[in-house]
Chain A
Amino acid sequence: MTQPKKTNNLILIAVAIVSIAVGVLVSQKLIKTPVPIPENLSATLLDKAKPLHNFELIDHNNKPFNLNSLKGNWSFLFFGYTHCPDVCPLAMQVMRKVWQAAELKTAIASDMQMIFISVDPNRDTPTLLKSYAQYYNPAFIGVTGKANEIDNITKQIGILYSLDKADKNGDYAVGHSGQIILIDPQGNMRAVFSPPLNPKSITRDFIAIKKWLEDNR
């Protein structure tokens, strides 16, 4: 009568060994080791994704532009004004170069969008913004809106701006942050590119950040 008991024990041990092996294999598949943050980034990568709350702006075709407009694409945002002679044109040229570099790798450019958000809605009409944004690239999007909604998004992102007092000609300058902001396709703020803006390093950083997030998915 002892023979069946010994056989049972052997079966139990075999089942246990197989279970442990299967468990180890499954856990290796399920629990991936986190891929480390890419090194040598010029960009400031946020420790944690910062989800944006909704905002209600309009694009250069007078269509609503809100949080959903940022979803599904990687968005590069720059905040400025079309009367800006120096900082904004330079930033737009940088965005154009980043766009062109990414276009060479079509898989990357296909889910990108470049957005210029005016913080000077009194002067920057959608028509003016369309001409301005599309001068740099026909795919670029100009956005404006009511001052309180511009404040809504700038405060969430940490962009600063201030309108100077108008001079005797009615002209005024606008002080503003010079960063380009990277938003992921889920509408989370992910990274900040600060001046001096370099298209090569922005392109390189973007590709590294995108890959890092995909590898950690």
Chain B
Amino acid sequence: MNKTFLIKSLFGTLLFLAGSFNQATAHGQAAVTFSDIIVPEAPPTAVVMVAYMQIKNNTDQDKTISQISSTQFKRVEIHKMNMANGMMKMKKLDTLTIKAQQTIVLESGGIHVMLIKPLKPLKHNDPVTLTFKFASGESTMLNTRVQRTH
């Protein structure tokens, strides 16, 4: 087990704990849990960044993310990539619903959280905080760090 893996595992566990609803299920489990959160480092002049993650709904009701915000970016949006007429096209989603007891994977080529216009350039290991608001009124804060992917 190498050092990087250990750090990632520890960091992932902390994120998992930080990124869970305070509201718990009857079994004491967080209502929604976030894992495998990655905000890849972008070129220094990049005006957009992206966040990938898995979001698990541990409840028996659908959960809908109505807004994602961050004080570090001008705007945060949810986008979905689609192949249309031989082109990869990006479409903005107004909301994102995670069905009851389901996990949704935000990954390259699919759905992603788009971080638009960083107010300050972010580089490897810089902290990033995202606030997820749900249609049901709850909100949760995710703390992660920018990761260099090479």
A residues near B, CB below 8 A? 82-87, 89-90, 93, 96-97, 128, 131-132, 135-136, 160-162, 164, 169, 171, 173, 175-178, 195-196
Cα–Cα, bound, A173→B80 (Å): 12
Tell me if B150 and A96 are in contact (CB < 8 A).
yes
Residues B18-32 near A (CB distance < 8 A): none
Tell me if B114 and A85 are in contact (CB < 8 A).
yes
Residue of B nearest to A132 (CB): B43
Can you name 26 A-B pairs with beta carbons within 8 Å?
A82-B43, A83-B48, A84-B48, A85-B48, A85-B90, A85-B114, A85-B115, A86-B50, A86-B109, A90-B109, A128-B45, A131-B43, A131-B44, A132-B46, A135-B44, A162-B89, A164-B89, A169-B75, A171-B116, A175-B88, A175-B89, A177-B87, A178-B88, A195-B88, A195-B109, A196-B109
Residue of A nearest to B91 (CB): A173
Chain B residue numbers with a CB within 8 Å of A135 are 42-44
- Cβ distance A167 to chain B, nearest Cβ, rounded Å: 8
- Cβ distance B33 to chain A, nearest Cβ, rounded Å: 24
Given contacts A90-B108, A160-B85, 7 further A-B contacts (CB under 8 A): A85-B90, A89-B40, A89-B42, A132-B45, A135-B44, A175-B87, A176-B87
> Is B49 part of the contact surface with A, judged by Cβ < 8 Å?
yes
Tell me if B50 and A175 are in contact (CB < 8 A).
no
> Is B137 part of the contact surface with A, judged by Cβ < 8 Å?
no
Tell me if A177 and B86 are in contact (CB < 8 A).
yes
Cα–Cα, bound, A81→B150 (Å): 20
Contact flags B99-141 to A (C-beta < 8 A → 1, else 0): 0000000001100101110000000000000000000000000
- Interface size of B by CB at 8 A reads 28
Contact for A173 among B89, B109, B115, CB less than 8 A = B89
Residue of B nearest to A167 (CB): B92
Cα–Cα, bound, A161→B85 (Å): 10
Most chain-B CB neighbours within 10 Å: which of A85, A96, A196? Answer: A85
Tell me if B50 and A85 are in contact (CB < 8 A).
yes
Cα–Cα, bound, A83→B79 (Å): 14
Tell me if B87 and A160 are in contact (CB < 8 A).
yes
Residue of B nearest to A176 (CB): B87
Cα–Cα, bound, A84→B87 (Å): 13
Cα–Cα, bound, A73→B93 (Å): 43
- Cβ distance A103 to chain B, nearest Cβ, rounded Å: 13
Chain B residue numbers with a CB within 8 Å of A160 are 85-87
Tell me if A161 and B48 are in contact (CB < 8 A).
no
Cα–Cα, bound, A174→B47 (Å): 14
Residues B49-91 near A (CB distance < 8 A): 49-50, 75, 79, 81, 84-90
Chain B residue numbers with a CB within 8 Å of A169 are 75
Tell me if A82 and B46 are in contact (CB < 8 A).
yes
Chain A residue numbers with a CB within 8 Å of B115 are 85
- Cβ distance B6 to chain A, nearest Cβ, rounded Å: 24
Residue of A nearest to B107 (CB): A86
- Cβ distance B144 to chain A, nearest Cβ, rounded Å: 16
